[in-house]
Amino acid sequence: MSPFPAGRLVAAVALSCSLLAGTTACGNDKDTSSSATPTSSAEKQKFAKTRFVANAGLAAGATYQWIVKPWKAGKFKKGADGRTGSLIKAGLAGAFTYNRLNAALKNAKSDPTLAKAVAPLTASVDKLKDLPSKLRKGDSDSAAKSFDDVVNDVKEAGKSAGADVKEEVPSLSDLKSGS
């Protein structure tokens, strides 16, 4: 008699395959711009809000965790302990935030209410483009405040359109990959 019965082997293989299929289907889906293909205009609007909330939430989380929190703690001031590392992380977070906010604005265009609410913020988000380099160069006060203000404006605009944005802090590897 075999030490491992065939029935158990079949069950173990089936379980392994189902777990493997589940993990590949539920992988890290940070790029929320192309998850599912909506068919009706109502579905397009629903997906637009969902994507907007996801992208704006990641931007808000990155801004708070990697820019605002260290800025308020004085980590960007000359002579601060860990200043260089904090500035590098803030620069990465700034680029990440800019990318996610642009994606959120693009998502918002598919929902009429959301599009009207966030349209005035396009220029503010565009101004963020140069701020990561300012963070790295040490102009942290104006850059950090600008990121915080724009993210809060986007969150408020989303809320007014029925799309509450909750902060979702991305990992440091997410910041490095930019997605």
Instruction: Give the confidence band of 39 by pLDDT, cuts at 50, 70, 90.
Output: low
Q: What is the DSSP letter of 65?
A: I
pLDDT of residue 134: 77
Query: pLDDT (tens digit, 9 = 90+) per residue, 76-116?
Result: 888 899 999 998 898 899 999 999 999 999 999 999 999 99
Q: CA–CA distance from 170 to each of 29, 78, 139, 149, 178 (Å)?
A: 12, 27, 24, 19, 10
- Confidence label for 179 from pLDDT (cuts 50, 70 and 90): low
Q: Which residues of 63-74 are buried (b: 16+ CB within 10 A; e: fewer)?
A: bbbbbbebbeee
For residues 67 and 50, what is the distance between their CA atoms, to the nearest angstrom? 25
Q: Is the pLDDT reported for residue 35 higher than 90?
A: no
Calculate ∠ Cα 56-46-157, nearest 5°.
40
Q: Which tokens hold the place of 72? A: 């308020």
Amino acid letter, 174: D
**Predicted pLDDT of residue 22:** 38
Q: What is the mean pLDDT of residues 115-142?
A: 83
pLDDT of residue 42: 60
Does the pLDDT of residue 2 top 50, yes or no?
no
